[in-house]
Amino acid sequence: MPRLKVVKPGLLTTIQDAGRRGFEHLGVMVGGWMDDYSSCWANRLVGNVQGTAVLEITLMGPELVAEGDGWLAWTGADFEVTVEGTRWPAGMSRYIRDGESIRFGVCKDGARAYLAAAGGFLGDEVLGSRSTDLIAGIGGMGGRQIAKGDVLSYAGGPAKWASAPVGTMIRDKRLRILPGVRRDWLAAEAWDRLVGETYRVNARSNRVGIRLDGPALAGRAPKGDAISEGMAIGAVQAPPSGELLVLTKSRGSIGGYPTLAHVITADWPVLAQLRPGEEVTFQEVDQEEAYRALSERRREMAQPLIPVSADHHIVSRLPGEIVRVLAPMWSTVYVSRAPGGCPLAPVGSVVEQGQVLAILEVMKQFYDLDSPAGGRVSAIHFTDGAMVHENTVLFEIEADESK
């Protein structure tokens, strides 16, 4: 049985499938993959039945080594992915040989990618699903994210060299909504503000919900304390904090914040790919438009795959003289693993490709920032503990191909 050995786990990498359905009346969350669109393409590319377990990779990806041969495909967020140093584009299947190294580098756009393996990833099955529920601690790898040293087994099976006919990530930053059950709690001018203003994704967003900062919805007049009621995926809530909360796959089945609107099912993949700092808007639609959008999305996902040759997708990456290491997203960056510790890569030090340069804190998770090239650290452009924006230059490295 083929396997993948985890060298580096990434920020948040978990085993996910279509989720646990039919247990919400018992308080069991549906969970499962966040992006139905991207995960569908990943499974199709390796010939899997829809609903088969994949790896969900969030914002910063893993490094894996193949133990045995097998077919893999990845889709979704715009990562830099290489196999043995050669580029592997999204939306293409690939036959991986025993001992080959797969590295997910910088994520340039989107938030989540999906790695599918022929036959599907194996793991703990609970209530008919292998999906990892980090809150309940069930499914996948013992209910936790993958860790260094884990071995991820997959069933294996036949597949073909193929490419998706369309992009495998929805890049829209607009969320279409239907009025919610508590729509009448908002004054007309407040609803107009909801659909007319721009909101920014808060760094505290996670699989439970996307938190949005923006103009306060003045004019909301709650009619007493809210009674807990059923909460659907995509519910747009207004907590007392003033921010908006859009519930996603790992939300609870009930809640007490007023539900002002619902993101339509066709746009759940848009929610899944929002990253901290991005701006998003809402657009009101009616039920007929919502049904049409879902039908169109399903037609997109059913388009036939495109056969490709075995060497079609192997593209070498050329090194530069000065390599600038950028912050992959909004984060807090530290020069050492512990407060007051020795810097991991001070100016003048010689580093190897893949060596840890700094530590990033994102959504209360810590992640190693690796050097994309070997060479000498010539400049550092941040102070220890600084909050940095996406694409901020953190390091400059004088490249040396021998390192």
In the predicted model, is pLDDT for residue 311 greater than 50?
no
Residue 299 domain flag = no
Band the pLDDT of 401: cuts 50, 70, 90. Answer: low
Whether 126 is in a domain gets the answer: yes
Q: What is the pLDDT of residue 224?
A: 43
Residues 17 and 120 in one domain: yes
Write the pLDDT tens digit of every residue in 9-37.
999 999 999 999 999 888 889 999 999 99
What is the rounded end-to-end Cα distance, in angstroms, of the chain? 35
Q: How far apart are CA 101 and CA 66, in angstroms?
A: 6
Same-domain pairing of 190 and 249: yes
The domain of 328 spans: 322-399
144 and 181 both lie in a single domain: no
Domain boundary among 144, 163, 182: 163
Any residues with CB less than 8 A from the CB of 34 and at least 6 apart, and which?
Answer: 16, 56, 112, 207, 248, 249, 268, 271, 272
Least confident of 254-268, 275-289, 310-324, 379-393: 310-324
Residue 294 lies in a domain: no
What pLDDT is stored for residue 265 in this prediction? 97
Q: Are 201 and 139 members of one domain?
A: no
Q: Mean of the pLDDT values across residues 112-125? A: 97
Q: Looking at the domain assignment, is residue 291 inside a domain?
A: no
pLDDT of residue 228: 79
For the chain, give the mean pLDDT: 89
What's the rounded Cα separation, in Å, for the pair 146 and 140? 9
Cα dihedral 107→113→118→119 (10° resolution)? 150
- For strand 174-179 and strand 259-263, is the pairing parallel, antiparallel, or unpaired? antiparallel
- Condensed to tens digits (0 to 9), the pLDDT of residues 230-271 reads 889 999 988 887 789 999 999 987 887 888 899 999 999 999
Q: What is the pLDDT of residue 271?
A: 96
Q: Which helix (H) or strand (E) is 290 found in, with range?
A: helix 287-301
pLDDT of 50 reads 92
Q: Kindly state whether residues 107 and 52 are assigned to the same domain.
A: yes
Residue 347 CA: distances (Å) to CA of 351, 353, 397: 10, 16, 9
Tally of domains within the chain: 3
pLDDT in the model for residue 403: 52
Task: Examine residue 330 and state whether it is found in any structural domain, yes or no.
Answer: yes
Q: Report pLDDT digits (tens) over 171-224.
A: 999 999 999 888 887 778 888 889 999 999 999 999 999 999 998 875 544 444
Higher per-residue confidence, 3 vs 311: 3
pLDDT recorded at residue 135: 93
310 pLDDT tier (thresholds 50, 70, 90): low
Q: Give this prediction's pTM.
A: 0.80
Residue 150, pLDDT above cutoff 50: yes
